A and B are shown apart, each in its own frame.
Chain A
């Protein structure tokens, strides 16, 4: 599979790799600024900087910046771009972790049923008509995580060794089962179907600083936990038994990391709906560029996934403006051909 590709990575020289990483961080920052500025209302870099500065330092806004600009950029565009970036990062890290743990280049925490669980949770909230603040994201998060826990528990009962094939199979069976329940509910209460469908397609519209405040700590803490396990992740790509022989507590590491990456995916789905492809594309691109070692793969996946998502959202809100394209459609429309290009272009050379 992946290993057949004749990869010419820049990981040969340490200096080259480091330069590549620094460039990536700078490019990512530029992309974020572009995403914030692009749109029907123009703002100069200087004005944007003074808006940010006034909010960060608490000083009043300079007189030459119109208050309307402040509300457009500080209240609408910036948090939207930042949430998109963070969620892209969360999904990419979670994808990288699941691919290593399950030794499957196509795995993601969607494989474990996070998204179908989250959708069922959302469906129940929408159908029941309960409206409390944040009830939708909280319930979908809880359902997403619960599905993963059930999948893990079920796997442990059926297969004492909890082999990857069993995990993937049970994850898929539960995903389909839970999606079935959701479809059943959606049919019974078809008036709510459009809202549910829109929610599932994913969107960053109207996301504000509160959403940033929810996603940011989860993204930071979970990614940091993953970073502490990067050596174990490297070893576990060589198989569970070999990892044990090399001294890794595989069961413990696997459980912790599956839960952490499910939290990353769960929080993303509950805030922005189901968005595919970022979790698959970003880690693979990073592996091509920097090699498979998780010490660089995890942080770089966050950056690439974040930048990819921010750009996708830019496209989603500008191309058919004022209408928005569902973000999930954009990531797939760009992601699939790009992924094919990266994957097969590398293969031909090899």
Chain B
């Protein structure tokens, strides 16, 4: 079934629309790469998919009209890992990751449950920040912060995860581990409103090769419109990429990979 369904969506900031007349369906269990040149509207697209921006058009999330959904219900279905994070006060890594449990935690004045603590420890471990748990977020390096944010996103335990350039600032080993972690996660299911839903992913990735290991489908955005929605395997041989980026991507990548084969 479709988890995210956008029909003729226009959205943006203040009075300038960034996305124009977008229609897109993401089904259960899918992994979708969102690509396109800088400033094309990829981040805006993720924000719209998480219903964070005012929009025009029709949007349904897991069959429900998004404009009438509570934040709590959306956030138990979809988690978004942002590209940047504003920070004004000194929270530690484990405090910040625990905040990701907000929708899952028992409401009221209770502290975190044993289950909350267990899950926070597990995701910190998975994302390689367990040793950094008592460090302040503001003291982390770019890559460490990125992993802490990833841990916070997975602490939310949602069947749909939207990632905005999750590989940013990560060294090659962590990028490989991230891909493996996401591959393993995609095999599983997550509970939403009493049902098990197959894990679903959409993300902005800049490395096409890494994206192709995870995602079968590629949605390319340019100037606020979806210009191509293809099987990623085909994208490597077609002119799609060259057209999207206005650049000879294929020969550039082939020249680059020649070094590895030599």
Interchain CB contact (< 8 A) of A238 among B71, B74, B87:
B87
Q: A11-B92, A246-B79, A292-B95 are in contact. List 7 more A-B contacts (CB 8 A).
A: A6-B139, A9-B90, A234-B99, A244-B52, A245-B78, A247-B74, A291-B90
- Residues from chain A with a CB closer than 8 A to the CB of B72 are 247, 249
Interchain CB contact (< 8 A) of B88 among A12, A103, A231:
A103
A242-B82, A247-B74, A249-B71 given as contacts; is B99 within 8 A of A3 (CB)?
no
Whether, in the assembled complex, A19 has its beta carbon less than 8 Å from a beta carbon of chain B, the answer is no
Whether, in the assembled complex, A235 has its beta carbon less than 8 Å from a beta carbon of chain B, the answer is yes
Write the nearest CB–CB distance from A299 to chain B, whole angstroms.
Answer: 12
Write the nearest CB–CB distance from B55 to chain A, whole angstroms.
Answer: 12
A103-B88, A287-B90 given as contacts; is B138 within 8 A of A3 (CB)?
yes
Does the CB pair B47–A241 fall under 8 Å? yes
- Residues from chain B with a CB closer than 8 A to the CB of A234 are 91, 95, 99
> Could you tell me the distance between the alpha carbons of A100 and B88 in the complex, rounded to whole angstroms?
8
Residues 246-262 of A contacting B (Cβ, < 8 Å)? 246-250
Residues 1-35 of A contacting B (Cβ, < 8 Å)? 1-7, 9, 11-12
B interface SS class: loop
- Residues from chain B with a CB closer than 8 A to the CB of A293 are 91, 95
Does the CB pair A235–B99 fall under 8 Å? yes
> Could you tell me the distance between the alpha carbons of A237 and B95 in the complex, rounded to whole angstroms?
13
How does the 8 Å CB contact mask read for B66-102 relative to A, with 1 for contact and 0 for none? 0000111011101110100111111110011001101
Residues 100-155 of B contacting A (Cβ, < 8 Å)? 100, 102-103, 105, 108-109, 111, 134, 136-139
A3-B136, A228-B109 given as contacts; is B99 within 8 A of A104 (CB)?
no
Does the CB pair B90–A3 fall under 8 Å? yes
- Residues from chain A with a CB closer than 8 A to the CB of B79 are 245-246
> Could you tell me the distance between the alpha carbons of A249 and B72 in the complex, rounded to whole angstroms?
8
A1-B88, A237-B89, A287-B90 given as contacts; is B134 within 8 A of A246 (CB)?
no
Does the CB pair A247–B76 fall under 8 Å? yes
Write the nearest CB–CB distance from B148 to chain A, whole angstroms.
Answer: 12
Whether, in the assembled complex, A46 has its beta carbon less than 8 Å from a beta carbon of chain B, the answer is no
> Could you tell me the distance between the alpha carbons of A7 and B89 in the complex, rounded to whole angstroms?
11
> Could you tell me the distance between the alpha carbons of A111 and B104 in the complex, rounded to whole angstroms?
34
A-B contact pairs, 29 of them (CB 8 A): A2-B89, A2-B90, A3-B87, A9-B90, A103-B88, A105-B88, A105-B89, A161-B54, A228-B108, A228-B109, A237-B87, A238-B85, A238-B96, A241-B82, A242-B82, A242-B85, A242-B86, A244-B52, A244-B71, A244-B75, A245-B52, A245-B78, A246-B100, A247-B102, A247-B103, A248-B71, A287-B90, A291-B91, A293-B95
Whether, in the assembled complex, A124 has its beta carbon less than 8 Å from a beta carbon of chain B, the answer is no
Interchain CB contact (< 8 A) of B71 among A11, A100, A247:
A247
> Could you tell me the distance between the alpha carbons of A293 and B105 in the complex, rounded to whole angstroms?
16
Does the CB pair B91–A246 fall under 8 Å? no
Q: How large is the interface on B (under 10, 10 to 19, 20 to 34, 35 or more residues)?
A: 35 or more
Does the CB pair B109–A246 fall under 8 Å? no
Does the CB pair B90–A245 fall under 8 Å? no
Write the nearest CB–CB distance from B45 to chain A, whole angstroms.
Answer: 14
A246-B102, A248-B71 given as contacts; is B138 within 8 A of A4 (CB)?
yes
> Could you tell me the distance between the alpha carbons of A1 and B105 in the complex, rounded to whole angstroms?
31
Whether, in the assembled complex, A160 has its beta carbon less than 8 Å from a beta carbon of chain B, the answer is yes
Write the nearest CB–CB distance from A45 to chain B, whole angstroms.
Answer: 36
> Could you tell me the distance between the alpha carbons of A241 and B50 in the complex, rounded to whole angstroms?
10
Whether, in the assembled complex, A201 has its beta carbon less than 8 Å from a beta carbon of chain B, the answer is no
Whether, in the assembled complex, B199 has its beta carbon less than 8 Å from a beta carbon of chain A, the answer is no
Closest residue on chain B to residue A230 by CB atoms:
B109
Write the nearest CB–CB distance from A204 to chain B, whole angstroms.
Answer: 31
- Residues from chain B with a CB closer than 8 A to the CB of A235 are 99, 102
> Could you tell me the distance between the alpha carbons of A55 and B87 in the complex, rounded to whole angstroms?
50
Whether, in the assembled complex, B156 has its beta carbon less than 8 Å from a beta carbon of chain A, the answer is yes
Does the CB pair A104–B88 fall under 8 Å? yes
- Residues from chain A with a CB closer than 8 A to the CB of B76 are 247
> Could you tell me the distance between the alpha carbons of A325 and B139 in the complex, rounded to whole angstroms?
43
Does the CB pair A3–B88 fall under 8 Å? yes
A12-B134, A238-B85, A242-B85 given as contacts; is B90 within 8 A of A5 (CB)?
yes
Write the nearest CB–CB distance from B3 to chain A, whole angstroms.
Answer: 16
- Residues from chain A with a CB closer than 8 A to the CB of B75 are 244-247
> Could you tell me the distance between the alpha carbons of A6 and B90 in the complex, rounded to whole angstroms?
9
A245-B80, A246-B75 given as contacts; is B52 within 8 A of A292 (CB)?
no
Write the nearest CB–CB distance from A179 to chain B, whole angstroms.
Answer: 28
- Residues from chain A with a CB closer than 8 A to the CB of B99 are 231, 234-235, 238, 246
